[in-house]
A and B are shown apart, each in its own frame.
Chain A
């Protein structure tokens, strides 16, 4: 086993463990903090995949904005259910069964695929993935239209969120 594999396994175990804590912890503030740990593990996974820009955006957008938004929402909906009643609904075992079945199905599908044991080719010398990504996002021959549609969607969703959560009095 090489060093890269050991690092990947450690990161994966950490991420999956904190992901499991997110869905099982009783205290929601703790669940949101475990989510931060999971997102950080995913950011390290991006770094292992040489997707450096994605790793930075993961930390800035996911941990810096989305996870903090979750913590705010948990605090605004206090009187939370920490002490009263179960955190899982009565059919939680059906959910567990379904997710095990989904994993088994995905695993079965992956088993039959020939490209599975592929290893990554070296990145060509002088290849700057961040510059390439920036060019691809604004180039008319590449992805400028999906990029603009995503930004319009984001504006519309945020205006809608302000409208929905607005307190009319």
Chain B
């Protein structure tokens, strides 16, 4: 049987990979890809805690489903913003989107 720690370390590694993507990619769409990896790592933790805790309490799975909904909303708004910026500024490079920078 797989101990809980394996799932938690797996999720921590996936979260760190996503964080690296968010911090170091220049393309705004690639930054959103990194955010998806981080959200998935969190969901693995929620499912693992549900399975290794009290199976009769569904809180872990319910929370994971709400994270799915929030992730879908976040991707829709994020990609709409990227497409809108691309239309006006003709770029998706995060460094060059600096209208609100002082």
Max count, chain B CB within 10 A of own CB: residue among A16, A96, A150: A150
B100 within 8 Å of A by Cβ?
A: no
Which residues in chain B, 24-79, are within 8 Å of chain A measured between CB atoms? 24-27, 29-30, 32-34, 36-37, 40, 43-44, 47-48, 50-52, 55-56, 58-59, 61-62, 64-66, 68-77, 79
B-chain residues with CB within 8 Å of residue A162 when the two chains form the complex? 80
Interface residue from A70, A86, A147, A150 paired with B32 (Cβ < 8 Å): A70
A95 vs B10: C-alpha distance in the bound complex, in angstroms?
A: 20
A45 closest partner in B (C-beta): B44
Across the interface, do A153 and B73 meet the contact criterion of CB distance under 8 Å? yes
Given contact pairs A89-B25, A120-B1, A80 touches B65 in the complex (Cβ within 8 A): no
Total contacting residues, chain A, CB less than 8 A:
92
A31 vs B3: C-alpha distance in the bound complex, in angstroms?
A: 31
- Count of inter-chain pairs, beta carbons less than 8 A: 257
Across the interface, do A107 and B12 meet the contact criterion of CB distance under 8 Å? yes
Interface residue from B51, B61, B92 paired with A80 (Cβ < 8 Å): B92
A137 vs B63: C-alpha distance in the bound complex, in angstroms?
A: 10
A79 vs B83: C-alpha distance in the bound complex, in angstroms?
A: 13
A-chain residues with CB within 8 Å of residue B5 when the two chains form the complex? 110, 116-117
A164 vs B15: C-alpha distance in the bound complex, in angstroms?
A: 29
Given contact pairs A103-B16, A167-B87, A119 touches B1 in the complex (Cβ within 8 A): yes
